[in-house]
């Protein structure tokens, strides 16, 4: 496969299967209830800001937009360092985990768990998988 940073969804799923187990999965999302506008252009502008944030991740290997406000990327940087990179950002929620042996399952866990954990922990923006649970990272 020719190397490129932005992948189509189907390419992402294959690339996740091929990613090193030590790589980190980054999931960025905006909760729908946090988007106050109904204007599609403004909504797309918000999504593009989140994509730009993901593209700034250290050692980003590839990423894909997987939903209206959902982006998945893989970085060779350690999960802890990525939590520091994301910092305090009030535009989006960030879920982090190691790719491990099943990157697709990790993405699924992050997609469901980050949204649930952020609704339960208002004011928290960075989450990670610990012992199978998505919990606030900082």
What is the CATH number for 107?
A: 3.30.70.270
Q: What pLDDT sits at residue 10? A: 85
**pLDDT attached to residue 2:** 42
Decide if 14 is inside a domain.
yes
Residue 53 included in any domain: yes
In a domain, 2, yes or no: no
Q: What is the mean pLDDT of residues 66-79?
A: 91
**What percentage of residues in the chain have a pLDDT greater than 70?**
94
In a domain, 1, yes or no: no
pLDDT tens by residue, 79-94: 888 988 887 566 788 9
**How many domains does the structure of the chain reveal?**
1
Range of the domain at 81: 9-136
4 part of a folded domain: no
| Neighbouring residues of 53: CB distance < 8 A, sequence distance ≥ 6 | 28, 86, 89, 91, 92
pTM, two decimal places: 0.88
Mean pLDDT of 107-135: 90
Per-residue H/E/C for the chain: CCCCCECCHHHHHHHHHHCCCCCEEEEEECCHHHCCCCCHHHHHHHHHHHHHHHHCCCCEEEEEEEECCEEEEEECCCHHHHHHHHCCCCCCEEEEEECCCCHHHHHHHHHHHHHHHHHHCCCCCEEEEECCEEEECC
Residue 39 lies in a domain: yes
Question: Which pLDDT score, from 0 to 100, does residue 61 have?
Answer: 93
Share of the chain above pLDDT 90, in %: 38
**Residue 4 has what pLDDT?**
61
The answer to the question of residue 79 being in a domain is yes
Q: Is residue 21 part of a domain?
A: yes
């Amino acid at each position: 496969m020719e190397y490129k940073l932005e992948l189509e969804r189907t390419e992402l799923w294959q690339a996740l299967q091929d990613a090193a187990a030590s790589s980190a999965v980054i999931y960025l999302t905006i909760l729908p209830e946090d988007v106050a506008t109904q204007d599609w252009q403004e909504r797309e502008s918000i999504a593009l800001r989140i994509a730009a944030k993901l593209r700034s991740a250290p050692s980003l290997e590839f990423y894909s937009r997987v939903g209206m406000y959902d982006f998945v990327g893989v970085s060779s940087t350690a999960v802890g360092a990525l939590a520091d990179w994301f910092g305090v950002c009030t535009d989006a929620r960030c879920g982090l985990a190691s790719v491990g042996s099943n990157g697709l399952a990790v993405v699924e866990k992050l997609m469901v768990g980050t949204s649930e954990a952020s609704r339960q922990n208002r004011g928290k923006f960075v989450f990670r998988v610990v012992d199978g649970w998505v919990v606030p990272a900082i």
